Amino acid sequence: MSMWVYIIKRIIYSIGVLFGVSILIFIISNIVPGDPARIALGPRAPDWAVKRLRKEMNLDKPIVERYFLWLGNLLKGDLGESLRSRRPITKDISEYLPASLEIIALSAFFMATIGINLGRLSARFSDTWLDGVIRIVSYIGIVTPAFVWAILFALIFSYLIPIFPTTGRISPGITPPPRITGSYIIDGLLTGNFKAAFDTLWHIILPALALSMGGAAQAARMTRASMVDNAEKDYILAAKAYGIPYKLIYKKLLLKPSLIAPISIMALDIAALLGNAFLVELVFLYPGFSRYGVEAMLHKDLFAIISVVLIIGVAYTVANVVIDIIIAYLDPRARMGAEQNV
């Protein structure tokens, strides 16, 4: 019961946060130098054409008015029109975003399973050779940029040992499933086109793995640190003294309080992928949201930029709500709103 109240409260707060974020993004993207209308039409377009476009885009109105016009449209589900593709931005995004979300979801899965399990193993065998190996591997994981992993994986697992496809989202010979959610995997499963779903999954394994390496390494280190730290606490010593089996202590009594920190960090890492996956998407020639965002910025495609940043903002907010829910599950103190008195 209290859990639901807590979640609803968190969601209401988040809507407030998003409102603030939207103001911030709108102002920043409107005060950066360069005239979007001029860039859209090119340097040789006559002045009157530029003027007309500015009027069409409401750029001649004061910024406050423009914001409310934009917000009104946003609430109607209209993000404006891209200056580059001349298509509604919602249409562009509805193509790219699900593709990216597929990768991010898989990447999150990899991060959590690889990270937490390596960390757990490392803590369980702390100060042995296994711990040493895991710690070195996680150092390497943290310091190596994701695109290097991407190139490395592509080289090894699709070129030298051709198990996975090198590029793209789906094999050329397979027709994508009809659009329901935009995710090929989900749509494929819903329409019974398992072949397309599986093929898409096969395509995103390498990019997802490349993207997850940094976060997984980080999570492994944090899980280990927190477990080793908590293992010295009296409640674990007591559990040992009372003869509670070692396995149970490690899997339950020690793990649960130790997951709070790594999970918080991991959720933010995952949200960050939405904007930071650009280079990896480039390596795998993947039609993802990051690439769309970077291209929009390079062309000063005003409304596209605002929309991309806004969606990344939404992703962070959602990630924060998810963190709060997971932590509320793990930590009764957060859930019940009591003062932290440790």
Partner 1 sequence: MDNFDNIALKIENLRVYYKVYKGVLKVLDGINIEVMKGERVALVGETGCGKTTTLKSVMGILAKNAILTSGKITVMGEKILEVDEERIFQKRPKGVAMVFQDPTAALNPVFTIGEQLDLVVRYAAGVTTNVKEHAINALKLARLPDASRIYTNYPFQLSGGMRQRVCIAMALAANPNIILADEPTTNLDVTIQDQVLKLLKRLSTEKELAMILVTHSLGVARETCDRIYVMYAGTIVEYASSEHIFKNPLHPYTQRLIASIPRLTGEGIAEGIKGRIPDYLNPPKGCRFAPRCEFATEKCFNSKPPLYEVEKGHFVACFLYEKKSEVTHPNADNS
Any idea which residue has 């103001």 for tokens? Answer: 23
With binding defined as CB under 8 A, does residue 257 bind partner 1? Answer: yes
Q: Identify whether the C-beta of residue 145 lies closer than 8 Å to the C-beta of residue 151.
A: no
Task: Report helix, strand or coil for 81.
Answer: strand
- Can you list the positions of beta strands (E) in the chain? none
We find the least distance from the C-beta atom of residue 151 to partner 1, in angstroms, to be 41
Q: Which of 233, 246, 285, 298 binds partner 1 (CB under 8 A)?
A: 233
Report the C-alpha gap between 314 and 238 in whole angstroms. Answer: 44
Half-sphere exposure of 58 (CA within 13 A, CB side): 15
Stretch that binds partner 1, among 107-115, 237-245, 296-304, 318-326 (CB under 8 A): 237-245
Q: How far apart are CA 51 and CA 337, in angstroms?
A: 56
Among 256, 268, 285, 298, contact with partner 1 (rule: CB under 8 A): 256
String marking each residue 213-232 x if it binds partner 1 according to CB under 8 A: -------------------x
Contact between 3 and partner 1 by CB under 8 A: the answer reads no
CA–CA separation, 117 vs 334, rounded Å? 25
Q: Does 248 bind partner 1 (CB under 8 A)?
A: yes
Q: Does 38 engage in binding with partner 1 (CB under 8 A)?
A: no
Nearer to partner 1, 228 or 280 (CB): 228
> Across the strands, what pairs with 88?
81
Give the one residue of 253, 282, 294, 326 binding partner 1; rule: CB under 8 A. Answer: 253
Q: Is 331 in the site for partner 1 (CB under 8 A)?
A: yes
**Residue 271: closest CA among 298, 221, 325, 311:** 311
Characterize 291-308 residue by residue with b for buried, 16 or more Cβ atoms within 10 angstroms of its Cβ, and e for exposed: bbbbebeebbbbbbbbbb
Tell me: does residue 160 bind partner 1 (CB under 8 A).
no
Under the criterion CB under 8 A, does residue 238 sit at the interface with partner 1?
yes
Binding mask 173-212 for partner 1 (x = CB under 8 A): ----------------------------------------
Residue ranges that bind partner 1, judged by CB under 8 A: 127, 232-245, 248, 253, 256-257, 330-333, 336, 338, 341-342
